[in-house]
Structure 1
Amino acid sequence: MSRLKEPAVAALETRPGLAPLLRHAPLTRFLSARVGSIAAQQMLMLAISWHMYELTSSAWYLGLVGLFQFIPGLATTLPAGHCADRLHRGRIVAVCLGVQAAIAALLAAATMTNAVSRELLLGLSLVLGAIRPFQMSGQQALLPMLVPQGLLARSMALSTSVQQVCVIAGPALGGLLFATGINALYLTCTVLFCVSAVLYALIRYDHVPPPREPVTAETVLAGLRFVWSNPLLLGGISLDLFGVLFGGATALLPVYAKEILHVGPEGLGLLRSAPAVGALCVGLWLSRHAIRSGVGKKLLIAVAVYGAAIVAFGVSRSFLLSLMLLAISGGADTISVIVRQTLVQIETPDRMRGRVSAVNTLFIGASNQLGEFESGVTAAAMGAVGAVVLGGLATILVSAAWSQLFKPLARRETLH
């Protein structure tokens, strides 16, 4: 991309609102490329989870879907970060989306021939888990290359808002497509993945390959050592790990939709979309009004609010109330995501952003996929309601503990 002159950069950074962001061409190209891919990913995971529950009627197998995505990610996360620091980040993401398009097409073909089985769904979950670190590392390390640092926090918020629009639209559209057949959903995912892959491949930025150096354990593990030696980053990333690990209810939403709230696949789509509605509202607000003070305390409070909303959702028997509580949880989680990811990018030199983003991806994967497995195991032992309530309470305790264990995080005042 062409660099802005310093006066133009200063003018953009000091102007409030969304206008200076939307007029920044590299950022708008990046956001356009994200739209289809996120919506397709949401629909694909919705279809896989519902398909698995239809085949097995088992919360245990819903948990296994998450576990089978987490395990291969352990092996590929650090190499993914190393690749993101050496190769063109947009093209890395494009390849990952191409693989997901092939998976969606395979599921469509298997559905037409009645060949879908729990083994196939778990096998494809392994592939999705293996490529996700490459995609996430590339995406996270790409955005700071497209905008000046003064716009990074608001760009993160706007990117999160765009993501949440797709998270809302994806499951909701997926629920509607179920009415015409699950095959229509898989084919739609295939098309969206292909279009997004092309858009990511066309993103341009000043990519300067680093000097060649041997690939050793030291270079691959550099990001992990960097995070471990920085209490601010370690506290922020691990807070998300344990908060979402215990407090995630996503894996059990098919159980709530079918057995507790009795709303079917269409209601499941709305339940999956509800957190994104809250996240969208908060993300749009923060894209116009960045958090300027007390960011550490606000981060910890947001995680505690997230946990409280999950507890209330766990005991709710009203569909509308459940949607509202999930929206609150999504809004609180967005504050955590924006603060944490902005701190990660600001505190990390560009030469290591890919590897540090990979560590962040590892923690996110553990919190999401391993959290889904934890939810499935706990639900199998004590029921879905007990699992969700216990997880939300654990998240509140994590927030309180981290305020004492990671003082640099709790005392952080600004995002700069």
Structure 2
Amino acid sequence: MKPFALCYNNFRVYAIGSLITRVGDWMDLVALNWAVLQLTGSAFYLGLISACRLLPVFTMSVPAGALADRYNKRKLLLRLETGYMFFTITLALLLMYSGPFWLFALIVTLRSVFSTMGLTVRNAFIPSLVPPVALASAIALNATFANLSGIVGPALAGFLLTFVEPVSIFRISAITSLAVIGSLFWVRPMATLPEQKCHENTGIMEAINFIRSNSVVKSLLILAIVPMLFGFPYTSMMPIFSKELLKVGPDGLGILLGASGAGALTASASLSWLNVKNNHGKILVVSSIGFGIGLVLFALTRRMELALMAMYGVGLLGQTYRTMSRITLQHAVPDHLIGRVLGIALMDRGFIAIGAIFVGWLASYAGSFVAALFMGLGCALITLIIVLLNRNILRL
């Protein structure tokens, strides 16, 4: 069997549909943050809306993983993607008719329930599209297409926002959701262990006991907290950082996010071709520390070309961390537990919401420079402290 995931039709069709939809999602994210900044002019509210997007991670990731282990993943994804599209249309209508901010935040939260569950089920669905020999390639390519969308989406949104209002971007995002929905009608996943034999014990305690007994998975989950809490909130804070630190508008914001997306694309594309078998722990630690250093460099510069270089490095190292973490995790977890363990692991994204609220508050009271510097230094230094206290991470 071939080890390259694109050799398999199921994966190709799903990846193309997912790519189109993810471009719309990135356009949606830029438009959402820009709309909040237009409506409120507040870094705190920017952090608050980010929390509305990400706090459902804490409550819905694990139930989604349990559902993925028990039921047909393709049918689950169809329902979740359709629900997400419905709430995107609702957000567009609220902007059109100037709905109150509290209702806007509520719909963002409800939509995030569907996106959170969808992300967990998608990650559990990928192994059913390729044979085991191509799994590492599929994970890395899935990240590659996600990062390609992270270049195209923000750039398109930034360009369009100079001509149209955010509501138009939401309409485009809703339309692009049809691409992944169509691909899910087309693909026919391979039979996997959970589908061949239904496991009666699909409770969360089975997954928790597995994590407790597996030093690799436990170390991955501990290390994951730091970049999520201190580093990755940068995407939510970029509208205020770009405006106050670099004095640029929506077009500049799109270019900056596109630069980080280009770095992330480089990382995931490289990892899809390279068969990294050793030193996973060292790669994870170096990339997390380097991610923080990149944010520090971004905070210190006031020149756009240097900021773009820093953002490219941030995207490159941040995605190296995330992709290697997922590859290591999926190889360490048996098929019948993959949904529930991934559900627990993906709860780390909830720390982005906590970080965004705090960084938004810090930016409001101490300024964007202090907030950006705090993010970078926190990510690098606390990663180093955790590694010094738990050297087993280096042996992964």
TM-score computed with the length of structure 2 as normaliser: 0.93
Shift of 1:278: 0.5
Q: Which moved more, 1:305-314 or 1:180-189?
A: 180-189
User: Partners in 1 of 2:280 and 2:169 — Cα distance?
Assistant: 40
Kindly report which structure 2 residues correspond to 1:13-412, keeping only aligned pairs within 5 A, or say none.
13=3, 20-113=4-97, 115-178=98-161, 179-205=163-189, 206=191, 208=195, 210-211=197-198, 213=200, 219-248=203-232, 249-363=234-348, 365-412=349-396
Q: Secondary structure at the match of 2:297?
A: helix
| CA root-mean-square deviation | 2.0
TM-score computed with the length of structure 1 as normaliser: 0.88
User: Partners in 2 of 1:91 and 1:153 — Cα distance?
Assistant: 24
Alignment deviations for residues 301-353 of structure 1 (CA, whole Å, 9 cap, x no partner): 11111010001111221122112111101111121112110111111111111
For the 8 Å contact 2:264–2:316, the answer to whether it is kept is yes
Q: Which moved more, 1:58-67 or 1:95-104?
A: 95-104
Change (3 A) 1:31 1:252: same
User: Partners in 2 of 1:221 and 1:41 — Cα distance?
Assistant: 33
Change (3 A) 1:214 1:297: closer
User: Partners in 1 of 2:57 and 2:213 — Cα distance?
Assistant: 23
Alignment deviations for residues 228-253 of structure 1 (CA, whole Å, 9 cap, x no partner): 33232122233222122112322221
Q: Which moved more, 1:65-74 or 1:326-335?
A: 65-74
For the 8 Å contact 1:274–1:324, the answer to whether it is kept is yes
Which structure 2 residue ranges, 5 or more long, are not aligned?
Answer: none
For the 8 Å contact 2:143–2:268, the answer to whether it is kept is yes
Change (3 A) 1:96 1:32: same
How many residues end up aligned between the 2 structures?
391
Shift of 1:212: 6.6
Q: Secondary structure at the match of 1:290?
A: coil
User: Partners in 2 of 1:90 and 1:130 — Cα distance?
Assistant: 18
Structure 2 residue aligned with 1:17 = none
User: Partners in 2 of 1:288 and 1:242 — Cα distance?
Assistant: 28
User: Partners in 1 of 2:212 and 2:260 — Cα distance?
Assistant: 31
User: Partners in 1 of 2:393 and 2:18 — Cα distance?
Assistant: 30
Shift of 1:141: 0.8
User: Partners in 2 of 1:287 and 1:214 — Cα distance?
Assistant: 34
Shift of 1:167: 0.8
Which structure 1 residue ranges, 5 or more long, are not aligned?
Answer: 1-8, 14-19
Shift of 1:192: 0.4
Shift of 1:158: 1.7
User: Partners in 2 of 1:399 and 1:268 — Cα distance?
Assistant: 28
For the 8 Å contact 1:301–1:399, the answer to whether it is kept is no
One-letter identity of the residue aligned with 2:105: L
Shift of 1:111: 2.8
Q: Which moved more, 1:89-98 or 1:262-271?
A: 89-98
Alignment deviations for residues 348-387 of structure 1 (CA, whole Å, 9 cap, x no partner): 1111110011011111x22322222222122223221111
Q: Which moved more, 1:369-378 or 1:336-345?
A: 369-378
For the 8 Å contact 1:66–1:371, the answer to whether it is kept is no
User: Partners in 2 of 1:243 and 1:214 — Cα distance?
Assistant: 33
Change (3 A) 1:132 1:183: closer
Shift of 1:190: 0.8
Alignment deviations for residues 267-308 of structure 1 (CA, whole Å, 9 cap, x no partner): 111222221100111222222222233221111111111010
User: Partners in 2 of 1:361 and 1:36 — Cα distance?
Assistant: 23
Alignment deviations for residues 209-235 of structure 1 (CA, whole Å, 9 cap, x no partner): 6537487xxx13432332233232122
One-letter identity of the residue aligned with 2:42: S
